[in-house]
Structure 1
Amino acid sequence: MIRIIALTEAGQKLGRQLEAELADSQLHFKPQPFAETVQRYFSDGNRLIMICATGIVMRTLSPVIANKHQDPAVLVLDEKGEFVIPLLSGHEGGANQWAVEIAEYLSATAVITTAKPYLQPQYAVGMGCERGCSEAHLRQHLEQCLARADLTIEQISSINSIDIKADEQGLIALAASLQLPFQCWNKQQLATVEAQLTMRSEYVYNTVGVYGVAESAALFAAQQLTGDSAEIVFAKHKTDKATCAIARSFPL
């Protein structure tokens, strides 16, 4: 879940705008007790949008920050919505890309400070689908997701899913028609990137043993491409029959 925290009237107005735009988000205006509440949200894995001073965020979260592989993404915005700063989990938690998306929506400036933006990223697609989903539906969904992520199929290294989809004919045919490897990963492998998911589904977990097929498969595959940690660049998007996510990693 996305927790939007605002401390001023102007920040509350901006928070309402973001709450209306972002699915699975909730605005909290001057939550009390402040530090304990925000720390609890963070420790529970909620992504945070903090509309306040950066110093307040750092002093509040410093006691509960673990590491870049576990911590949820945190963005800091000024109350006018002019700047969006990915404060924590820029690469690993997807905060950098999330900041770019929020900045685009607000016509703001994303302030990216993490290293390696100049390196050539490697991209991997993760997909899930209901049994018997057609290649045509999967292709249309993939093409729409690529367009929204401002990517082309030539930039994609592989199509990926969970091992129970290894015989899924639509996915097999899609990868073959695009001349891309179709790779399937088991739930133990996919569980290693669980902390980096932008959203989690209890239903999916109870069905296949991971909290998300598309994002998990994309992250794990991207990680294998370079040996470095990966990040989500296009969060899970779904139709009534399929899901798609895109992740990237940078060469060491």
Structure 2
Amino acid sequence: MSIVRIISFTEAGYQLSCKMQDCLQERAEVVLYSGKNQVAERHAEVCAVSDGLKNWCSEVFDKSEVLIFVGACGIAVRTIAPFVNSKCTDPAVLVADEQGKHIISLLSGHLGGGNQWTLFLAQKLQADPVITTASDVNEHLAVDVWAKQQGWQIADLTLAKHAAAAIVAGEKLPFYAEDMQIQNLPKELNLFSSKESFQEMISKRAGEPIAGIVVSIYDHWQKNVLRLVPKRVILGIGCRKEKDPAEVETQVRQVLENYHVAVESIAKLVSIDLKAEEAGILRLAERWGIPFETFSTEELQLVPGTFAESEFVKKTTGVGNVCERAAVAALPEEAQRQPCWICHKQAENGVTVAMVALPL
């Protein structure tokens, strides 16, 4: 559940905070704060901010999905300024006047969901929503919001900004989705049905800030093409016991580079349960923010298919191929008999890697 923190500074602000809490209680965990000790002392459920707003913000900024300031915009701006980092990671920040007449989306309107939270609260409180992002006020496609809704990762935020600027200017951008059908394509995109025709078009636009948009798990596209990356890749991995974590990551990166697979496309790492505590794999999963799942020897033995077997690995683990079998085991059962291989076992320097694509 999302964590929403609301800070107010007066009794009237506290009363509005309570109304917001009632509106949000079914979709978020709400914590109330007050910048005035007198208000906090009167209301037991309110946390007092007694060590200064900057110190408070340093503690909660990265731990919140939404921060709401009930008061002046200037207070909010000065408080959050030292902690604003990236639209990919910053929380949504909203501001409301203490009479609840206006709800303002101040920060992370798109990727942080600030605009949606603003619209939701404004509707509940019968307030005026204040949204200033150009794509929204002009009723154009917001590429970052659309990508988030589809579960795609934006590979380059600078190109996303160029795409947004082109769309707001009325340009229809070339678009291609590799190996998938897109339902309800936004009107701002010009769909190309073949990879060849799309590549021909983007090559003509090589000198433009943005040539086009592609949905693909691969990273070998023209540099000024915005890549939206679906998480479709299952990466099976095995390694020698206590293999150096840096060497594990180096080898995995090398395989990804060899096959032009984007890191952002990896949905999960998978292996045998004997590797559940393997430091090199755990560190890789943590650094890349990717789930790590393991299967028992018995589960891997039941995986259908023909695999490149190693007698040494079989004696050690009970199965002759860990990375390929684990990758297939992670697929839905109906896809296991005909997996879509990106690469079969790649073995180097005590690390083995295999990749399959999740079905669409």
Q: CA deviation at 1:161?
A: 7.8
Given that 1:54 and 1:76 are in contact with CA atoms closer than 8 Å, whether structure 2 keeps it comes out as: yes
Given that 1:39 and 1:60 are in contact with CA atoms closer than 8 Å, whether structure 2 keeps it comes out as: no
Distance 2:140 2:107 in 1: 20
Unaligned runs of 5+ in 1: 127-153, 165-183, 195-204, 209-252
Q: CA deviation at 1:100?
A: 0.6
What SS does the aligned partner of 1:24 have? Answer: strand
Where do 1:1-252 residues align within 5 Å?
A: 1-22=3-24, 23-30=28-35, 31-35=49-53, 36-117=55-136, 118-120=139-141, 122=146, 124-125=149-150, 155=184, 186-187=267-268
The one-letter code sitting in structure 2 at the alignment partner of 1:18 is M
What SS does the aligned partner of 1:91 have? Answer: coil
Distance 1:192 1:16 in 2: 39
What SS does the aligned partner of 1:71 have? Answer: coil
Give the stretch that moved more between structures: 47-56 or 17-26.
17-26
Distance 2:21 2:292 in 1: 29
The one-letter code sitting in structure 1 at the alignment partner of 2:92 is A
The one-letter code sitting in structure 2 at the alignment partner of 1:70 is T
The one-letter code sitting in structure 1 at the alignment partner of 2:73 is T
Given that 1:125 and 1:156 are in contact with CA atoms closer than 8 Å, whether structure 2 keeps it comes out as: no
Given that 1:83 and 1:111 are in contact with CA atoms closer than 8 Å, whether structure 2 keeps it comes out as: yes
Q: 1:110 to 1:185 in 2, by over 3 A?
A: farther
Over aligned residue pairs, what C-alpha RMSD do you find?
3.5
Give the stretch that moved more between structures: 62-71 or 30-39.
30-39
Q: 1:33 to 1:70 in 2, by over 3 A?
A: same
Given that 1:52 and 1:79 are in contact with CA atoms closer than 8 Å, whether structure 2 keeps it comes out as: yes
TM-score, scaled relative to structure 1 = 0.51
Distance 2:133 2:103 in 1: 14
TM-score, scaled relative to structure 2 = 0.37
Given that 1:39 and 1:64 are in contact with CA atoms closer than 8 Å, whether structure 2 keeps it comes out as: yes
Give the stretch that moved more between structures: 95-104 or 26-35.
26-35
Q: Which has the higher contact order (CA 8 A, sep 6+)?
A: 1
Given that 2:68 and 2:94 are in contact with CA atoms closer than 8 Å, whether structure 1 keeps it comes out as: yes
Distance 1:84 1:15 in 2: 12
Unaligned runs of 5+ in 2: 36-48, 152-182, 187-214, 216-229, 235-264, 270-285, 295-360
Aligned residues: 152
- Percentage of identical aligned residues: 35
Larger Rg: 2
